[in-house]
Chains A and B, each alone.
Chain A
Amino acid sequence: MNGPNLSVEIAGVTLDNPIVAASGTFGFGIEYSDYVDLNKVGAISVKGLTLEPRKGNPPSRIVETPSGILNSVGLQNPGIDHFINHDLPMLKQYRTKVIANINGKTIHEYCQMALKLQNTEVDFIELNISCPNVSQGGVSFGTDPDMVYRVTKAVKCCCQQPLIVKLTPNVRDIKEVAHAAEEAGADAISLINTLVGMAIDINTRKPVLANVTGGLSGPAIKPVALYMVWQVAQTVNIPIIGMGGIMTGEDAVEFILAGATAVAVGTANLVSPTAMLDVLEELIKYMENHDIDDIHQLIGGLVL
């Protein structure tokens, strides 16, 4: 085998390559198997899970905005038990690492889910304290550093797998929040979740989304995401999964140079089912063109 080394390690777990599916943009992976060899994806963060099955918000749940999309799904999912019994076994037939993205209304609920995931084949738990589209829990846990510390600490005490904490950009100082998560024992940090936004239909004078507001993602938020990843990389010593508008291999390189160990592809999955494989191929091409034989030569390689 030649070609550059792409494998990265996050909290003792090795990913074949640094490309991760962002939660909520790639279902449970299996939906895409007609188009994508799931063995070739570094890791898949599955659709956000809750303790009980959840209906989600009424439609419309999506609207296109300039170079972005706003969504307000509201965590529709079949519940964590269904995931463990039905979706996880199917996904574990592939080499890709599985990240269970969990969402609670209370700290207790987050802990209950972490307990349910003990002794399962899940490789990582991702603590989603950054969903902007639910009325209870979600982003309300992620905006206050003290709260971030409390929920991270509580889940860390009862989870078996490495814990990734997913941060929201809708905060005054992302460094404070990242620091709180690291202090509480987070094994890795993923960022950014979506930025809160809205769109109005000027003919009906109504919001386009039934939930009124939604989370903005896509190339429109990439510069913001990149800046936040760079800030956090200077603050914490744990690995970072960077995301926010990554559409190409070049975008991925930017996040890695800013300090991300792995990168998640989200909105691009809605544009093209093969987006992650395309990003991976372009990343390899970049490395070959620049005589880089190991991805670690790029991580945090920003020159100031």
Chain B
Amino acid sequence: MKKRIISPIIQNIKIAHGTYKMTLFAPYIASNVTPGQFVHIKIPRDSSLLLRRPISVNGVDKNNGTIDLVYRVVGKGTSLLSKLKPNELDLDLLGPLGNGYKVEENIKSLWLVGGGCGVAPLKLAAQKWSNLDITAFLGFKNKSEAYQIDDFKNLCSQVFISTDDGSLGEKGFITHILIKHISELRPKLILGCGPISMLKILKQISERYDVPCQISLEERMGCGMGGCFVCSCAIGIKDSWDYKKVCTDGPVFDSREVIFDEWP
């Protein structure tokens, strides 16, 4: 069940260029969240910023009842969040919202493919399914924007890194590295999150090599409850699709169902 929670800030630190990690005390979310699900945060202090910000959960500590959120500063709301100090105030959040990734019991090996901000929710996936054989493919713009690589190395059997400029790991898009390995290793399931351009290629790769793939989508969001119909994404098959809601039908979808042609 989703709840409204008033959550004290435990920590709020910069972990990469323009990227922050906030730790919140939210035991209910920590115990109930599935990787890929998100919390919907009310921006404090400035009542002119009306809409909540949806941020996926990056990690949990069930013993201490805390959750980690990793977010990029992209506008006024996230800029305000980045300046909050521990115990300064409590955040108003709704969650856990949305449908997360689903990993069937018979799955023994898992590939995680993330780009930029999209790496964040995959860390919770690596944490939850750390008993599986996990290979992570993480792409960043450059070295200064990379984060949590050591965490992934601790949780995964293998970690591949790429950056657009080659300042860390291999140079190029992470999907290029993925394609080098997929024909020989044939994973059972791919979980992806990242920019639309990356997800489009990931969808093509998963279809060409016939590997099931779940991707997490992002769209400008309103209520988070499925009530306002604004966070739409085209789901279905060509010539027979509908706009589904990222907040309650997603954010995680089977990549085969996502019709990217309908994105402007």
Chain A residues in contact with chain B, CB under 8 A?
24-27, 31-32, 34-35, 47, 55-56, 58-64, 66-69, 71, 73, 76-77, 210, 218-219, 267, 269-274
Subset of 16 A-B contacts with CB under 8 Å = A32-B225, A34-B2, A35-B94, A58-B232, A58-B234, A61-B232, A62-B51, A62-B228, A66-B48, A67-B48, A69-B51, A73-B232, A76-B243, A270-B223, A271-B42, A272-B92
Residues of B within 8 A of A32 (CB): 225, 227
Whether B264 lies near A71 (C-beta < 8 A) is: no
Taking a contact as CB atoms closer than 8 A, the residue among A58, A73, A210, A274 that contacts B228 in the complex is A73
Residues of A within 8 A of B262 (CB): 58
Taking a contact as CB atoms closer than 8 A, the residue among A27, A56, A68, A76 that contacts B227 in the complex is A27
Cα separation A269 to B228 with both chains bound (whole Å): 9
Whether A55 lies near B94 (C-beta < 8 A) is: no
Taking a contact as CB atoms closer than 8 A, the residue among B1, B94, B220 that contacts A61 in the complex is B220
Q: How far is the CB of B158 from chain A (nearest CB, A)?
A: 36
Q: Does B123 contact A (CB under 8 A)?
A: no
Whether B243 lies near A69 (C-beta < 8 A) is: no
Taking a contact as CB atoms closer than 8 A, the residue among B49, B220, B248 that contacts A62 in the complex is B220
Taking a contact as CB atoms closer than 8 A, the residue among A26, A63, A270, A274 that contacts B4 in the complex is A274
Residues of B within 8 A of A273 (CB): 4, 94, 223, 225
With CB as the reference atom, state the residue of chain B lying closest to A206: B264
Whether A55 lies near B243 (C-beta < 8 A) is: yes
Residues of B within 8 A of A270 (CB): 50-52, 222-223, 227-228
Whether A71 lies near B243 (C-beta < 8 A) is: no
Residues of B within 8 A of A269 (CB): 223, 227-228
Q: How far is the CB of B73 from chain A (nearest CB, A)?
A: 15
Map CB proximity to A onto B204-238 as digits: 1 under 8 Å, 0 otherwise. 00000000000000011111011111111110000
Whether B229 lies near A47 (C-beta < 8 A) is: yes
Whether B230 lies near A61 (C-beta < 8 A) is: yes
Residues of A within 8 A of B49 (CB): 64
Cα separation A58 to B222 with both chains bound (whole Å): 15
- B-side binding surface: helix, strand, loop or mixed? loop
Whether B230 lies near A210 (C-beta < 8 A) is: no
* Sample of 7 further A-B pairs with CB below 8 A, known A35-B2, A58-B262, A269-B223: A32-B225, A34-B3, A35-B225, A56-B229, A60-B264, A76-B232, A273-B94
Residues of A within 8 A of B92 (CB): 272
Q: How far is the CB of A24 from chain B (nearest CB, A)?
A: 7
Whether A27 lies near B263 (C-beta < 8 A) is: no
Q: How far is the CB of B258 from chain A (nearest CB, A)?
A: 13
Whether A62 lies near B227 (C-beta < 8 A) is: no
Given contacts A27-B226, A31-B227, contact A60 B52 (CB under 8 A): no
Q: Does B61 contact A (CB under 8 A)?
A: no
Map CB proximity to A onto B3-19 as digits: 1 under 8 Å, 0 otherwise. 11000000000000000
Residues of B within 8 A of A271 (CB): 42, 50-52
Whether B220 lies near A272 (C-beta < 8 A) is: no
Whether A25 lies near B223 (C-beta < 8 A) is: yes
Whether B264 lies near A210 (C-beta < 8 A) is: yes
Whether A71 lies near B52 (C-beta < 8 A) is: no
Q: How far is the CB of B5 from chain A (nearest CB, A)?
A: 12
Cα separation A197 to B262 with both chains bound (whole Å): 24
Residues of A within 8 A of B220 (CB): 59-63
Q: How far is the CB of A27 from chain B (nearest CB, A)?
A: 3
Taking CB atoms and an 8 Å cut-off, the chain B residues in 30-66 that contact chain A are: 42, 47-52
Q: Does B257 contact A (CB under 8 A)?
A: no
With CB as the reference atom, state the residue of chain A lying closest to B1: A34
Residues of B within 8 A of A47 (CB): 227, 229
Cα separation A59 to B232 with both chains bound (whole Å): 6
Cα separation A210 to B243 with both chains bound (whole Å): 14
Residues of B within 8 A of A60 (CB): 219-220, 264
Residues of A within 8 A of B242 (CB): 55
Residues of A within 8 A of B77 (CB): 64
Residues of A within 8 A of B227 (CB): 25-27, 31-32, 47, 269-270
